[in-house]
Amino acid sequence: MSNEKDVNLNSSESSLEELLRDAKENIESGAPTAFEPDLPAEYADLVSDEDPEEAPMGKEPLPPVLKGVLYGAIVLAISIVLAVLAWKCVDEVCALTAVEEIVTVTVEETDTMGQLAKKLKDSGLIKYRWLFNMYCMASDAEEKIDPGTYELNTIYDYHALVYSMMETSENRATVEVTIPEGYEAEDIFRMLEENAVCSVADLEEAAANYEFDYWFLEDLEYGDYRRLEGYLFPDTYEFYVDDTPENVLARFLRNFDNKLSDEMKQDLDTLNKQLREQKLAEGFTEAEIRDLTIHDMIIVASLVEKETTGDAESGKIASVIYNRLCSRVYPCLNIDATIQYVLPERKDILSNADKAVISPYNTYTNAGLPVGPISNPGISSIRAALYPVDTDYYFYALDPAGGHYFSEDVYEHQAFLDSLTGVDRQAESEEETTDEQE
């Protein structure tokens, strides 16, 4: 028994030593044998068919040097993109590479900053609407830009663009308009609209209702654009395109105020003294006499402007008007131009029906001056109304030879008119007398 146990012990030790030796050889060779348990047949489907040597291995990390190169390349690319964007923005805001070109842009009263930016982009003045909007928000440009039409240059930077679209800017588009002497307010407004200065409707509204601070308008009623008739001084003006009606009309009124000197205002008192003496001599009472106002004088000047054929006879035309105002025999002025003023259209010859038209401007049916000026007189007609020639004329008529023929009484006046038509009233009267005697 003892010998048999010894043999088994020796055999077990030999197997253990052999197992350890194989394990040591596997470790030293670096290729350990995979453990494959011997499973019963019923668990065979749990055994993987994959070769353990074919199992995927993890990606090897990039070398540090390659990592540094890639990082530097990415940073460089981003820096280049940002630099290009920054340059484009700086070039846009400062207009560094812009090509010079004059562009006209109209800023409407109702335009938003977004709409204005679109107009500027469409005109080639800016490239990036979003950038211009950001600049405007940062600089409060919306408070600085005024409505109007402006002549802008594509080389303007954002700052210059904003300040060029202000009311006081020299870049506002302008147009030169010459208003002839004797034009009526309606004619002037139409001319201004044709030159894109302002619309007729806006001018009429402002003329009728806007409160202009001028001494010569203080007593004039509101509600009718003819309120400014006579005070829109004819001259050559340089107006802003698409300006406000208040600014446009103020230009006329300011010019009128400058033309009417203090000396001329004082001379109106002298004229009133002369007319007072003339009326008293004609039998007017103190209660009937009323001094002329500045408005009355401008009415007379407007009549002179419409009636005269030249400055040389303006003083005589004025004298006829004043002589009639101071006359009990000829209380009506009988001036055709006052009828033409209220007719829908101008006529070469007025009919009796025209002369009977019901209107406060009709000087055939109403004694004295019409209710208001019928034109906008120039300085010559104003001076003629203020400094009339001293005459005894009460009539005048167009002379085919030029100018007007002036008469002191109705007989002389009628004789002149008959001479124009070839009628000999004296001969006709003698014939009628002969016929009666027969």
Q: Can you give the CATH number for the domain in which 111 is found?
A: 3.30.1490.480
Give the whole-angstrom CA distance, residue 302 versus residue 384: 10
304, part of any domain: yes
Query: Alpha carbon of 63 to those of 66, 91, 429: distances in Å?
Result: 5, 42, 136
Q: Is the domain of 270 the same as that of 311?
A: yes
Q: Are residues 208 and 125 in the same domain?
A: no
Reported as a single tens digit per residue, the pLDDT across 75-107 is 888 888 887 777 777 777 777 777 888 888 889
CA angle, residues 98, 104, 106, in degrees to nearest 5: 125
Residue finishing a domain among 259, 284, 300: 259
Given this model, what pLDDT does residue 46 score?
A: 53
Question: 299 pLDDT exceeds 80?
Answer: yes
Cα–Cα distance measured from residue 155 to residue 166, given in angstroms and rounded to the nearest whole number:
18
Residues 285-318 as b/e (b if ≥16 CB within 10 A, e otherwise) read eeeeeeebebbbbbbbbbbbbbbbeeeebbbbbb
This prediction's pTM: 0.71
Q: Cα–Cα distance between 388 and 270 in angstroms, integer?
A: 12
Query: In this structure, are 268 and 402 located in the same domain?
Result: yes
Which one has a higher pLDDT value, 1 or 335?
335
247: confidence class by pLDDT, cuts 50, 70, 90: very high
**pLDDT value at residue 434:** 43
pLDDT at res. 265: 87
Q: Are 198 and 248 in contact (CB under 8 A)?
A: yes
Residues 281, 397: one domain?
A: yes
Distance from chain centroid for Cα 208: 20
**Residue 88 to residues 58, 92, 107, 116, 129: CA-CA distances in angstroms?**
46, 6, 27, 21, 13
Q: Residues 272, 273, 279, 285: is their CA dihedral positive or negative?
A: positive
Same domain, 210 and 335: no
What is the C-alpha to C-alpha distance for residues 376 and 306, in angstroms, rounded to an integer?
9
Containing structural domain, residue 275: 262-407
Provide CB contacts within 8 A for 78, sequence distance 6+.
none
- Both 148 and 88 in a single domain? yes
Q: Look over the chain and give the mean of its residue pLDDT values, rounded to a whole number.
A: 85
Name the CA radius of gyration of the chain, rounded. 51
Task: Give CA–CA dist 307/333, Å, rounded.
Answer: 12
Task: Specify the pLDDT at position 421.
Answer: 86
In the prediction, which pLDDT does 188 show?
98
As a residue count, the chain comes to: 438
